[in-house]
Amino acid sequence: MIVEPLVLATFVPASLALNLTPGADMMFCLAQGLRGGARPGWAASAGIAAGGLLHASLAGLGLSALLATMPGAFEVIRWAGVAYLLWLAVRTLLSPFGGPDVAGLSAARAFSQGFVVNLTNPKVILFILAFVPQFVDPTRAILPQFLVFGAALSLGGLIVNGLVGQFAGHLRGALSGGTMVEKALRYVSATLFAGLALRLAISTAR
């Protein structure tokens, strides 16, 4: 077997506990749910999960470990993420959530945004490099183990963050464009995106 069942049984609860801890991914899906509805909330969660699985694959190949030794590369990734989140904040602030003339956020766009946000967060790389290797058996093939653990971690995140996005989407679905509540939630969503950008900007890559 690629991973011992007992090891996987230990990994899954630990990874689920991490997924249940409020963080940038959860806040992003909350904002996307408020911005576009339940379906984009789930799509954003799927994009984040796909990004996490790619990070796990790169870690298994050793590329993430190599990148971790290059602070300059981390800085490029980090500031790209900051710029993207700020762009989302501005777009959200200027685009009403509801109303007859307002097009909803497509699931494809929400997925791609979640994927990009996850890929441009260098802390995800460091987290996977710190957490997953604790469960990896060095006597077995490394990449398949990273893929299994990455899939388990991503699946848990998909479910937890998707449910958060769905909850937020139900709030958005009851809104009409231009109401005080709609404007307030739009500002909240934009603030979440801007807050995530600030958090990433002031954090260090190491």
pLDDT tens for residues 52-65? 999 999 999 988 78
Residue 36's alpha-carbon distances to 63, 95, 150, 171, in angstroms, are 35, 11, 28, 10
> How many separate domains does the chain show?
1
Confidence of residue 98 (pLDDT cuts 50, 70, 90): low
- Residues of the domain holding 92: 5-202
Confidence of residue 42 (pLDDT cuts 50, 70, 90): very high
Residues 113 and 106: beta-carbon distance below 8 Å = no
Confidence of residue 113 (pLDDT cuts 50, 70, 90): very high
Q: What is the CA radius of gyration of the chain?
A: 18
Residue 185 predicted with pLDDT over 80: no
- The pLDDT of residue 101: 43
In this prediction, residues 176-201 reach a mean pLDDT of 79
Residue 11's alpha-carbon distances to 160, 161, 179, in angstroms, are 16, 19, 46
Residue 108 predicted with pLDDT over 90: yes
Looking at the chain, the whole-number percentage of residues with pLDDT higher than 70 is 91
Residue 125 predicted with pLDDT over 70: yes
In this prediction, residues 158-170 reach a mean pLDDT of 93
Residue 182 predicted with pLDDT over 80: no
- The pLDDT of residue 206: 44
18 alpha-carbon distance from chain centroid: 13
